[in-house]
A = this chain, B = another copy of it.
Amino acid sequence: MLDKAALATLFTEARTHNVWLNKPVSDELCQQIYDLAKWGATSANCSPARIVFVKSAAEKEKLVACLSPGNQEKTKAAPVTAIIAMDMEFYEKLPQLFPHADARSWFVGNQPNIDATAFRNGTLQGGYLMLAARALGLDCGPMSGFDADKVNAAFFAGSSLKVNFICNFGYGDAAQLFPRSPRLTFEEACRIV
């Protein structure tokens, strides 16, 4: 059971950030984020997420050109922007990741199952990545406002990877936060039967 400060870091006080302090995020920290998030559960350990951590000015420029106008300035300013992609041929790694069954055969030739499994599990891994980043003291700014075809052409041409969503990581300027938006109550979103 985590203490109240840890719950605040992950959930109760954590906010989506749009304004970034001028404080770098090291390559080692990017690796630490992944090395926590990779342990999160995926269906048959299929682990379809692939991540490009965009840091250099040239690659950042390439990415920013694919984003909705409202997402461009903040992404330029973020020390690192992660492209959270999915390998649509993730099942080719199943002999390595799930060696005790022929899990590859559950997918080959079944495109609806491939698509749903890549999207669901790749997204779960994106969620794990954001909470891992927060656990390591970083702030997150996830975005789905971008031209997916442009991102795929710019970063994943000729590969089996497709973008899922994009997330800025860094140290947010808490003074620039808007008031927090409301959430659905337990009664609105849940029931116990």
- On A, residues with C-beta under 8 Å from B are 1-3, 6-7, 9-12, 14, 16, 27, 30-31, 34-41, 43, 45, 47, 49-56, 59, 93, 96-99, 117, 119-120, 123-124, 126-128, 130-132, 135-137, 140, 142, 144, 164-165, 181-184, 186, 189-193
Contacts and interface: CB of A to CB of B under 8 A. Distances in A.
Contacts of A10: 2, 10, 36, 131, 135
- The CB with the most chain B CB atoms within 10 A, among A40, A96, A182, is that of A40
A183 B31 contact: no
Contacts of A127: 40, 123-124, 126-128, 131
Copy total for this chain = 2
A1 B135 contact: yes
A34 B11 CA distance: 11
Contacts of A51: 189-191
A38 B193 contact: no
B93 A53 contact: no
B190 A47 contact: no
Contact of A123 (B30, B36, B124): B124
Contacts of A55: 192-193
A128 B117 CA distance: 18
6 contacts: A1-B135, A14-B40, A30-B192, A38-B189, A47-B184, A53-B190
Contacts of A190: 30-31, 34, 50-53
A181 B34 contact: no
Contact of A189 (B6, B12, B36, B50): B50
B140 A41 contact: yes
Contacts of A11: 36-37, 39-40, 128, 132, 135
Given A52-B193, A123-B127, 5 more contacts: A11-B39, A14-B40, A34-B189, A47-B183, A55-B192
